[in-house]
Amino acid sequence: MPDTGDEMTCRELVGLITDYVEGTLPAADRRRFDEHLETCEYCANYVEQMRTTIMALGELPEESISPRVRDELLDAFRGWKSP
């Protein structure tokens, strides 16, 4: 496939995984996401692992997480997106 400059990176895919599995990713991004999965076995495995985890765990109610752990997780995710 020729390089169109519109190809999704692995890092970008990881940032969009939640919207992808929830079905809320815009059509253009979903197309790029699917195209990336066709050529990247690592990301394809990652998406499958996420789906398996979601199916196994279902939904954890927010109340089941202590306020301290919740705050630590939120801080970690906020910091991950920062350069």
Spatial neighbors of 32 by CB under 8 A, at least 6 apart, are 6, 7, 8
Whole-prediction pTM value?
A: 0.62
What was the pLDDT predicted at 38?
A: 96
Shortest CA distance to 21 belongs to which of 46, 50, 44? 50
What was the pLDDT predicted at 75?
A: 79
What value does the mean pLDDT take over residues 25-31? 94
What was the pLDDT predicted at 2?
A: 37
Mean model confidence pLDDT for the chain: 82
Q: How confident is the model at residue 70 (pLDDT cuts 50, 70, 90)?
A: confident
Domains of the chain: 10-81 (1.10.10)
